[in-house]
Structure 1
Amino acid sequence: MPRALFVPDTVWVSSRDRPGWYRPVTRDDPEYATWADADWSLITQVDDGAPAGGNGWGRLATSSISQPSLVVAMLQALDADAGLRVLEIGTGTGYNTALLCERLGAEHVISIEVDPVVAEGARTALAELGYRPRLVVGDGVRGVPEDAPYDRLLATVAAHDVPAAWIEQVRPGGVIVTPWSTWFAPGVLLRLVRAHDGSASGRFVGNADFMMLRSQRSRSPFGEWREYVNEDDPTAVARRTRTNPRWIAHRDEGWRLVVGHLVPGVDFASYEAADDSGEASVYVFDRGTGTGSWALGEYSPAEDAWEAKVRGPRDLWTEIGAAWSAWQRAGRPGRDRLGLTVTPEGDQVLWVDSPSQPLRRPGAAVAQR
């Protein structure tokens, strides 16, 4: 099915001249036709439908039409046969909804979209092609309980905390496929199977960068570290830390998932010394959860405890150190060894190799001096 049938009249692309902004591209632009069926995602809404800049320019991408090859991968992970009932979280343009209708029959597809304008556009595009699934306007976090249970649930929007309602509304043995993101690590695709006890467990099965559920977005998606850190703040506490400031910058995909999950909202900036000393100033800060916490670590290769400053209700060096210790004790697992369980109470438990080996959010402090 041609994706171009679902691409709206205006899409947005990153601006080279204004980093951090998206410029609108309309159907009469020569580039538009090139992109409509290309194998990459296209932004179809910015700033929840109210562009923050002049002339339609946007700051935050808030809806998109997915990359076709990723859509195929997600549908393969869903493993939905004809006749199964599927709940789709995030109708978007209706492109993925149409593929579900074609595979399962429209009468077996229920889709929910939070934005009424986006939902109406999808309804029109689907009807023009003869597809009439049940479309609901509402917050996908709550699912569509009145039509439950479902055999499959497919989310086209990322979650960090997989909503308990999604698990509850899928029958035992059913499958949930959703993009999963920590704000810190690149997004991944998570495939869960619902158990009889009300939990769901599964592994990460690929890359999947998607926009977050509105209720789970970063509290501060924009801005560089200087907007979060004030080294002259009199409430900042000076001390030494045994958490190596360089750990946060480790590029291993498994570590990035672990620290992003166990230290929610963390981000960092690192500045190397101009000489050959190997020293660096590393700033960590809470971009995601809005606590205002930050920390500075002055790395020197000759030390085993480093000068630091910590400010806010969260001790970020302690949290990062505990996450690093948990990752090391587990054998430094890569992403291919990690999985997630959502408990009946809604707890999100990251694990290594099997659900019996959990990596929980740190509670114990790392020794300081």
Structure 2
Amino acid sequence: MTVKWLPHARRLAHQVARPESRWHTAVASVPRHQFVPRWWEPDGGVWRLRTGLEDAGIWLQEAYQDKTLVTRVGANHADTVGIDEILDSGTPTSSSTLPSLVIQMYRHAMIADGNQVLVTTGSGYGTALACMRLGSDHVTSIDIDEHLVRSAENRLLLIGETPRLEACDITGRLLPGKFDRIVSTVSVRPIPASWLKALRTGGRLVTTIAGTGLILTADKTADGGAVGRIEWDHAGFMRIRHSDDYPKPADDLWKGAAEGDGQDIGTSRYPLLYPPDAWDVMSMLELQLPGIEYRKQEDGDTRTVWLLHPDGSWARATAAGHLAAPTVHQSGPRRLWENLERIRHRLNREGTLPLYGASVTIDPDGTTTLARGSWTATL
């Protein structure tokens, strides 16, 4: 099918970059629809497959919006399932990230002409933008999923780009080459030591901390470590995965957490909060207690939020109305809601949390320390 995509790509470029920017030229020149011929769309609690070839108008409309398109749910690639496939549940495991966020991460990397850059693959669209900006011979792209790598390779070839592509774990011991920039659009914790080994001295890494909205940038130092900061803007990416799907430790807690009384019952002093709606609060909680899973439910005016931790801790808070004090049930070795409230106490007392703008120090082994004023956190 031949589609007139260039006007759509140019419109998207105007949305995400200034006309004088070289990233504007890249976005205007890459046919994003070719990298997302199929995608998963949430629809009333299920995932429904959408296929571009069925309706070119919808395909162009969706592909050239500044939005993320989910291309893999659980182990189900949109490329390979049946045309009428519907998934009753599942967690997104790969996507074509919204273009403005890809450009945002590349800008944080301060990529210069001639840099050798390592990026993550996904649909291949972000790789295509890097190739358009630098030339294919300056770009290496990796993903843990062999199918994604091979699909991206074929789609890149169709537009004349031939970067180096490898199927490998970005957190593994060795990365395929030496680089001036590493830009990861999957989140990690801590920074893999292999990144520091693969970066040239003075090179920059850009990523997000898993489970947070924190963008971390750092430049490699002569001692093999790196120094940088948490940027003032924010972003969230899928966590790095090491298999076909993410583990689901919280599922084992769900039966008790869904309705059980737990070990403690109390009342929160604050209105009900779903932490993913407040990125600074969620990020602070994640730094203290990594791995919390959040769930929520609405039944008329009654809202319920769950916090579930792999160590067996859980909290359930329910409020009838937006101003009502939530009733909180908690169980397990930690009191998750109490930790959340301590963070909210600090936010109310100080007016801010010491996350954005924090300095970052990374040891050669990947140990990462954040600091701002008297506050520190080690990953």
Tell me the TM-score normalised to structure 2 length: 0.72
Q: 1:210 to 1:3 in 2, by over 3 A?
A: farther
Of the candidates 148, 151, 158, which is equivalent to residue 128 of structure 1?
158
Other-structure match for 2:191: 162
Q: Kindly indicate whether the alpha-carbon contact (under 8 Å) linking 1:284 and 1:316 is maintained by their aligned counterparts in 2.
A: no
Match of 1:72 in 2: 103
CA contact (8 A) 1:158 1:211 kept: yes
- Deviation for aligned residue 1:54: 9.2
Which of 171, 174, 180 is 1:141 aligned to? 171
1:10 aligns with 2:38: yes
Cα offsets for 1:219-244 (capped at 9, x unmatched): 44998x964516547xx434779x85
Q: How does 1:173-252 map to 2 (within 5 A)?
A: 173-182=202-211, 187-197=213-223, 198-215=225-242, 219-220=247-248, 227=255, 229=257, 232=260, 236-238=262-264, 244=269
Matched, 1:119 2:141: no
Q: Quote the residue 2:63 is aligned against.
A: 36
- The aligned amino acid for 1:28 is E
Q: 2:25: which partner in 1?
A: none
Pick which of 42-51 and 119-128 moved more. Answer: 42-51
What is the one-letter code of the residue matched to 1:98?
A
**Deviation digits for residues 130-153 of structure 1 (CA, Å, limit 9, x no counterpart):** 3222211111222743523x2110
Q: Quick check: 1:358 aligned with 2:376? A: yes
How many residues of Structure 1 are paired with residues of Structure 2 in the alignment?
Answer: 337
User: AA paired with 2:331?
Assistant: R
TM-score using structure 1 length: 0.74
SS of equivalent to 2:311: coil
The answer to whether the 8 Å contact 2:264/2:331 transfers is no
The structural deviation recorded for 1:26 is 3.5
Q: Kindly tell me: are residues 268 and 109 of structure 1, through their superposed partners in 2, closer, same or farther at Cα, counting changes over 3 Å? A: closer
| Higher deviation after alignment, 139-148 or 247-256 | 247-256
Residues 53/219 of structure 1: CA separation in 2 closer, same or farther (3 Å cut): farther
Match of residue 46, structure 1, among 48, 73, 77: 73
Partners of 1:61 and 1:25 in 2: CA distance = 17
Q: Which amino acid aligns with 1:62?
A: T
Contact 2:46 2:86 (C-alpha < 8 Å) held by counterparts: no
Aligned to 1:256: 282
Structure 1, unaligned runs of 5 or more: 275-279, 300-305, 362-369
The answer as to whether partners of 1:123 and 1:135 remain within 8 angstroms in 2 is yes
Contact 1:193–1:202 (8 Å) recurs in 2: no
Distance 1:55 1:222 in 2: 30
Deviations along 1:57-115, one digit per CA (max 9) or x if unpaired, are 24332222222222222222111112111111x21232222222233332222211111
Distance 1:210 1:298, change over 3 A: closer
Structure 2: runs of 5 or more not aligned: 1-28, 320-325
Q: Which amino acid aligns with 1:206?
A: D
Residue 335 of structure 2 corresponds to: 315
Q: Percent identity?
A: 25
Q: CA deviation at 1:317?
A: 4.2
The amino acid across from 2:371 in the alignment is W
Give the aligned residue type for 1:119: V
Please report how far the alpha carbon of residue 27 of structure 1 lies from its aligned counterpart in structure 2 after TM superposition: 1.7
Q: Which amino acid aligns with 2:102?
A: V
Q: Summarize deviations over 1:149-168 as a string: whole Å, max 9, x none.
A: x2110112223433232233
What secondary structure, in the 3-state scheme, does the structure 2 residue paired with 1:141 have?
coil
In the TM superposition, 1:323-342 aligns within 5 A as 323-324=343-344, 332-333=352-353, 336-338=356-358, 340-342=360-362
Query: Following TM superposition, by how much is the alpha carbon of 1:333 offset from its aligned partner in structure 2, in angstroms?
Result: 2.7
- Call closer, same or farther: CA 1:2–1:334 in 2, change over 3 Å: same
Provide the secondary structure at the position in 1 that maps to 2:114: coil
Per the TM alignment, residue 340 of structure 1 is displaced from its structure 2 partner at its CA by 4.4
Query: 1:142 aligns to what SS in structure 2?
Result: coil
Q: Does the 8 Å CA contact 1:248/1:320 hold for their aligned counterparts?
A: no
Give, as a single letter, the amino acid of the residue that structure 2 aligns with 1:151.
D
Q: What is the Cα deviation at residue 120 of structure 1?
A: 0.8
Provide the C-alpha distance between the structure 2 equivalents of 1:176 and 1:359, rounded to a whole number of angstroms.
Answer: 20
CA distance in 2 between counterparts of 1:297 and 1:14 reads 26
Mapped contact 2:30–2:129 kept (Cα < 8 A)? no
Distance 1:119 1:193 in 2: 28
Distance 2:197 2:154 in 1: 31
Q: What secondary structure sits across from 2:187 in the alignment?
A: coil
For residue 285 of structure 1, the aligned residue among 307, 310, 314 is: 307
Question: In the aligned structure 1, how far is the partner of 2:304 from the partner of 2:97?
Answer: 36
Q: How far apart, in 2, do the equivalents of 1:330 and 1:170 lie?
A: 38
3-state SS of the aligned residue for 1:130? coil
RMSD, aligned α-carbons: 4.0
Distance 1:230 1:5 in 2: 41
Partner of 1:277: none
Query: Is 2:129 aligned against 1:99?
Result: yes
Residue 53 to residue 290, structure 1, CA distance change in 2 (3 Å):
farther
Which segment drifts farther, 309-318 or 263-272?
Answer: 263-272
Give, in whole Å, the separation in 2 of the partners of 1:320 and 1:309. Answer: 13
1:60 matched to 2:91: yes
